[in-house]
């Protein structure tokens, strides 16, 4: 690909962008800030800010406890059903509850209980660390074999062949991140799931870095389970509860390992023994965080209005454009691409490698009003959220990185890491 490298060309791409109008539906935030972290914490839409205001001032302050019967009690399932539309699931196959980490535990522990003859869980080393910690703990508690972690050869692409070789009849579960948080590599969900099924393994996909950015069809692929964050491309807000999917035919045979009253057949009977309800609701545990749960609904509406296919189309155009600019302007300065070359195998962020990645990030944040993020040991992640990221912002971010390295402006920063990166 050979795209032009002028700012005028970036502006031209913005003018011909069918989704450009959606940017105005988001809170503008600080003027001039280039936000490239939508894959970590999405921006709030204006509708979401209104929703939170109404929720707090009207539903909570005025409605008080009555609001539980005016939409709060059903919110976990109602909003789960909305998310189901983005991931190719049935409306009765998804709930919103707890964090992604906790949902991973619930699902992994329920599989290990349901499949006593299978000894292990397989994953890869591109997965998000919390997933690995949770699986190790679930295996440990049920006194099973240690987690099998298959390594990527280059730290960029998923070890597809090695995973295939590792799966056998003792595998209870294969669990992978659909899109890797570091390199942005995206697995072919359909072929991996089918292969695992042939070996008798169940599959749990972590959709945290793909939902809202990539079309997903769990139903067509026959996937057993999935989880995902709502505060990344779904723009649900910091710590918004996660979603959890279980294929309909499995729901009544699996048990929630943390069976609280919200998963009871009749919570308000205050029965002293736990009678699990049927269906996906049994994976609920306790009272949901209603304020952040409600914010997800209006956030998903914006994505529905834009259309996930259109979002994906723009995301590929933007990652291609960004990589092309980097190749021309940054690679000669020691940057490398740490994401897949092929748009089809990539999510919506790009990772660049540079020996001074950490200090370049500091300089971008402190001096250039560009917010990327840094991932160990030498990755700069540039997240593209097509609903509000413009081509001109990508152009400007690359120009700032070029200038920082060409002028060695990063030299004045210390190498010491503090707080959230
Ligand atoms: C962001 C992310 C998480 C985070 O989990 P929390 O429980 O919300 O902190 C987990 N898994 C993946 C793949 C992620 O990208």
The question of whether 381 is a catalytic residue gets the answer yes
Task: Give me the pLDDT at residue 2, please.
Answer: 55
Task: Give me the pLDDT at residue 87, please.
Answer: 98
- Bridge partners, residue 120, by sequence: 171
How much is the average pLDDT of 143-148?
Answer: 96
Q: Which atom of ligand 1 is nearest to the CA of 101?
A: 7
Taking the CA atoms of the chain, what radius of gyration do you get in angstroms? 22
Task: Give me the pLDDT at residue 156, please.
Answer: 98
Decide if pLDDT at 359 tops 90: yes
**Exposure string over 346-381, b if 16+ CB within 10 A, otherwise e:** bbbbbbbbbebbbbbbbbbbeebebbbbbbeebbbb
The question of whether 395 is a catalytic residue gets the answer no
Q: 3-class DSSP state for residue 296?
A: helix
Name the pLDDT band for 417 (thresholds 50, 70, 90): confident
Angle (CA) 33 39 41, round 5°: 65
- Bridge partners, residue 225, by sequence: 204, 246
How much is the average pLDDT of 330-348?
Answer: 98
Task: Give me the pLDDT at residue 419, please.
Answer: 76
Q: Which of 381, 391, 396, 402 is catalytic?
A: 381
How far apart are the C-alpha atoms of 381 and 394, rounded to whole Å? 12
Decide if pLDDT at 37 tops 70: yes
* Count of C-beta atoms within a 10 Å radius of residue 330: 21
Burial of 395 (0-12, 13-18, 19+ CB in 10 A): buried
**Residue whose structure tokens are 């042939």:** 198
How much is the average pLDDT of 333-358?
Answer: 97
Of residues 4 and 247, which shows the higher confidence score? 247
294-328: pLDDT as tens digits: 999 999 999 999 999 999 999 999 999 999 999 99
164-183: pLDDT as tens digits: 999 999 999 999 999 999 99
Residues with CB under 6 A from ligand 1: 99-101, 128, 130-131, 177, 181, 206, 208-209, 229, 242
**Residue whose structure tokens are 């919390």:** 130
Ligand 1 pocket mutation, candidates 37, 128, 216, criterion most atoms within 8 A of CB: 128
Q: Which atom of ligand 1 is nearest to the CA of 130?
A: 10
Task: Give me the pLDDT at residue 416, please.
Answer: 83
Decide if pLDDT at 151 tops 60: yes
How much is the average pLDDT of 136-159?
Answer: 97
Name the pLDDT band for 420 (thresholds 50, 70, 90): confident
Decide if pLDDT at 357 tops 80: yes
Task: Give me the pLDDT at residue 4, please.
Answer: 84
The question of whether 231 is a catalytic residue gets the answer yes
* 140 Cβ neighbours under 8 A, 6+ residues apart: none
Nearest CA to ligand 1 atom 14: 208
Name the average pLDDT for the chain: 96
The question of whether 358 is a catalytic residue gets the answer no
Ligand 1 pocket mutation, candidates 208, 210, 216, criterion most atoms within 8 A of CB: 208
Task: Give me the pLDDT at residue 272, please.
Answer: 93
What spacing in Å lies between the alpha carbon of 334 and ligand 1's midpoint?
31
* 15 Cβ neighbours under 8 A, 6+ residues apart: none
The question of whether 128 is a catalytic residue gets the answer yes
How much is the average pLDDT of 98-110?
Answer: 98
Q: Which of 37, 98, 206, 396 is catalytic?
A: 206
Distances (CA, A) of 155 to 151, 224, 254, 326: 8, 27, 35, 20
Task: Give me the pLDDT at residue 67, please.
Answer: 98
The H or E element containing residue 294 is helix 290-306
Name the pLDDT band for 112 (thresholds 50, 70, 90): very high
Task: Give me the pLDDT at residue 165, please.
Answer: 97
Name the pLDDT band for 132 (thresholds 50, 70, 90): very high
How far apart are the C-alpha atoms of 389 and 383, rounded to whole Å? 9
Q: How many CA atoms lie within 13 A of 226 on its CB side?
A: 35
Task: Give me the pLDDT at residue 317, please.
Answer: 98
Task: Give me the pLDDT at residue 3, please.
Answer: 64
Nearest CA to ligand 1 atom 5: 100
Task: Give me the pLDDT at residue 85, please.
Answer: 98
Q: Which atom of ligand 1 is nearest to the CA of 229?
A: 8
Q: How many residues does the chain have?
A: 421
Name the pLDDT band for 293 (thresholds 50, 70, 90): very high
184-231: pLDDT as tens digits: 999 999 999 999 999 999 999 999 999 999 999 999 999 999 999 999
Contact 48, 237 (CB under 8 A): yes
What spacing in Å lies between the alpha carbon of 185 and ligand 1's midpoint?
16
How much is the average pLDDT of 379-399?
Answer: 98
How much is the average pLDDT of 368-377?
Answer: 94
């Amino acid at each position: 690909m050979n795209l032009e490298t002028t700012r005028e060309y970036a502006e031209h791409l913005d003018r011909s962008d069918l989704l450009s109008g959606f940017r105005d539906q988001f809170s503008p935030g600080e003027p001039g800030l280039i936000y490239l972290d939508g894959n970590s914490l999405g921006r709030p839409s204006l509708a979401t800010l209104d929703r939170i205001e109404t929720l707090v001032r009207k539903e909570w302050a005025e409605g008080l406890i009555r609001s539980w019967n005016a939409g709060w009690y059903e919110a976990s399932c109602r909003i789960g059903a909305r998310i189901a539309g983005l991931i190719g699931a049935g409306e009765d196959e998804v709930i919103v509850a707890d964090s992604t980490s906790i949902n991973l535990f619930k699902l992994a522990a329920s599989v290990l209980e349901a499949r006593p003859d299978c000894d292990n869980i397989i994953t890869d080393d591109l997965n998000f660390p919390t997933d690995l910690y949770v699986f190790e703990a679930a295996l440990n508690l049920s006194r099973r074999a240690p987690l099998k972690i298959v390594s990527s050869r280059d730290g960029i692409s998923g070890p597809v062949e090695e995973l295939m070789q590792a799966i056998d009849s003792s595998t209870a579960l294969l669990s992978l991140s659909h899109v890797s948080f570091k390199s942005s590599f995206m697995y072919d969900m359909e072929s991996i799931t089918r292969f695992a099924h042939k070996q008798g393994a169940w599959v749990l996909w972590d959709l945290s870095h793909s939902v809202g950015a990539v079309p997903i069809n769990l139903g067509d692929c026959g996937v057993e389970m999935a989880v995902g964050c709502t505060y990344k491309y779904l723009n649900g807000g910091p710590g918004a509860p996660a979603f959890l999917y279980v294929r309909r035919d499995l729901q009544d045979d699996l048990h929630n390992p943390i069976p609280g009253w919200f998963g009871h057949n009749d919570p308000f009977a205050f029965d002293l023994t736990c009678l699990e309800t049927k269906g996906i609701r049994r994976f609920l545990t306790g009272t949901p965080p209603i304020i952040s749960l409600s914010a997800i609904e209006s956030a998903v509406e914006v994505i529905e209005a834009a259309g996930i296919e259109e979002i994906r189309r723009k995301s590929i155009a933007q990652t291609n454009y960004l990589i092309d600019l980097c190749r021309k302007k940054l690679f000669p300065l020691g940057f490398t691409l740490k994401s897949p070359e092929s748009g089809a195998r990539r999510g919506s962020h790009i990772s660049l490698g540079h020996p001074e990645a950490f200090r370049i990030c500091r300089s971008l944040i402190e001096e250039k009003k560009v917010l990327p993020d840094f991932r160990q040991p030498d990755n700069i992640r540039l997240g593209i959220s097509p609903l509000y990221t413009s081509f001109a912002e990508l152009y400007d971010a690359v120009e700032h990185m070029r200038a920082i390295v060409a002028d060695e402006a990063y030299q004045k920063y210390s190498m010491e890491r503090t707080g959230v990166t």
